[in-house]
Amino acid sequence: MGGMDAAQEYVDAIAPEHRPLFDRVSGLIMEVCPEAIPTLSYGMPTYRVGKRRLHVGAWQHGISIYGWGRDRDGGFSSRHPSLVSGRGTIRLRSQDAAEVTDDELRDLVRAALEA
């Protein structure tokens, strides 16, 4: 019921300075989990695999990634504790993103979405 269209509208409205970072994160999610179903949930793009979900929101600071459990982040929190904001939230500012490798993001996605 318009989930994909609404998600695309959200993506199209992302500020130009954050769009490359969103596209990077989204692309890595779909690379690691091509079976992920992108939809809109809690007002932001959400990637669903079975019962697991990963939300990716664009904000003034950059991109936030939500929905992973502390035990399912592929070691991301221990490598980048300054990027963890609250429980199950990673706040990635565009200037911080250079410190995070694609492989670290892939590990996070794998741990969060794969059974």
Domains of the chain: which residue ranges? Answer: 3-110
Whether the pLDDT of residue 72 is over 60: the answer is yes
pLDDT at 1 over 50: no
* pLDDT score at 2: 45
Strand-pairing partners, residue 28, are none
pLDDT band at residue 3 under the 50/70/90 scheme: low
Find the mean pLDDT for residues 64-82.
87
What's the CATH fold of domain 3-110? Aspartate Aminotransferase, domain 1 (3.90.1150)
Residue 34's pLDDT is 96
Task: Please give the angle made by the CA atoms of 27, 31 and 35, to the nearest 5 degrees.
Answer: 110
pTM of the model: 0.90
